[in-house]
Structure 1
Amino acid sequence: MKHYEKAISKFYNSLQLNPIPLLSLDFSLPNFGNFCKYQNDIDILDAIAIKNHWTLQPKFKHELQEKEQIIVVTDATLKIVHATKNIFDMNGYTLSEVIGKKPKMFQGEGTDKNTIATISKAVKNQLPFEARVLNYRKDGSEYWCDIKAQPLYDQKGSVVNFIAYEREVA
């Protein structure tokens, strides 16, 4: 054990690390945990924005890191191209289970048809919308979901994606 401790000590001394008190990290990086938690999703959303030449850069970093909302991005035909990993916490579906499907997969018999018709009309007319929808988890249980969505345009003015910010409400 003595040789092991010497080897570890030698290794750490060779790194020339400057220790920083934990208190300073708490002061200077209060949202560091959320930053790390959602960085992969932010990178993917940035890549989708670049690939599709979005003219508007949504504030998805703020929505994820500070509001911890679920973000769902669909293509122009409403097939899901990305959902943030926190979607699992809301409804039990993993990213691989929702990619390529339409958000309709979360609806069920109790979902209000008038609300869905209003959403469909907004999507058809390429307009932003806000709605509260009764959705269903993977296990079949119900949950209310606030959705705030908008179309995203490319540089030619064509809708290439829709982005929705979602959160479960009581």
Structure 2
Amino acid sequence: MENNPTPHPLLCWDIVLEGIERRKQLKKDLEALQNIMYRNEWKEVRAAFQEALIWEDKTIIVTDSQLNIIHATENLHTMNGYWPHEVIGQRPTLFQGPATSLDTRKAIKMAIDALQPFQTALVNYRKNGSTYTCHIEGFPIFNQSGRLVNFMAIEKAA
């Protein structure tokens, strides 16, 4: 008889454990987004953020009206190496650098200044300095009184 251990088949529990942490993360992110939504009395609830987060595994960043990041979903770390707590209080320009198109940056700024939604792709930088193409759908969020309270960006690295 050989001394080689018998390989064990992949157990169902192994697959379940892998998804438990992701589901916990999603629950935490959705609760945080809902708290922001209720606290700021969002006029129009964008259900797109739930679908984007759960089914499309996109990263969501919420800023205040001055563009300071107040929330980032946990999967930000997978996209660019930053943990959400590292970017709170920073501006999204933190992810930009020399290879980020000035024209694209200007177009985003014009949309934000005009309080208009936008979709674009631009070169962003990971925490380690490497670049990636980031597809962004950004839009302003208004409260029940019509006052700008937040901006939201739904992002996916390509």
Alignment check: 8 A CA contact 1:79 1:99 kept? yes
Higher normalized contact order (CA 8 Å, seq sep 6+, divided by chain length): 2
Q: Choose from 57, 63, 68 the match for 2:57.
A: 68
Task: Report the Cα offset of residue 56 of structure 1.
Answer: 1.0
Q: Residue 115 of structure 2: SS of its match in structure 1?
A: coil
2:38 is the alignment partner of 1:50: yes
Segments of structure 2 that go 5 or more residues without pairing to the other structure are 1-11
The alignment yields a C-alpha RMSD, in angstroms, of 1.6
2:67 is the alignment partner of 1:82: no
User: Which residue is equivalent to 2:115?
Assistant: 126
Alignment check: 8 A CA contact 2:61 2:152 kept? yes
After TM superposition, the score normalised by the length of structure 2 is: 0.85
User: Which residue is equivalent to 2:146?
Assistant: 157
Task: Report the Cα offset of residue 95 of structure 1.
Answer: 1.0
2:126 is the alignment partner of 1:137: yes
Task: Report the Cα offset of residue 113 of structure 1.
Answer: 0.2
Q: Which amino acid aligns with 1:45?
A: L
Alignment check: 8 A CA contact 1:52 1:154 kept? yes
Structure 1 residues 56, 32: closer, same or farther in 2, change over 3 A?
farther
Alignment check: 8 A CA contact 1:34 1:65 kept? no
Q: Which amino acid aligns with 2:78?
A: D
2:115 is the alignment partner of 1:105: no
Task: Report the Cα offset of residue 35 of structure 1.
Answer: 4.0
Segments of structure 1 that go 5 or more residues without pairing to the other structure are 1-21
Structure showing greater radius of gyration is: 1
After TM superposition, the score normalised by the length of structure 1 is: 0.79
Task: Report the identity percentage.
Answer: 37
Q: Which amino acid aligns with 2:52?
A: E
Tell me which moved more, 157-166 or 55-64.
55-64
Alignment check: 8 A CA contact 2:65 2:149 kept? yes
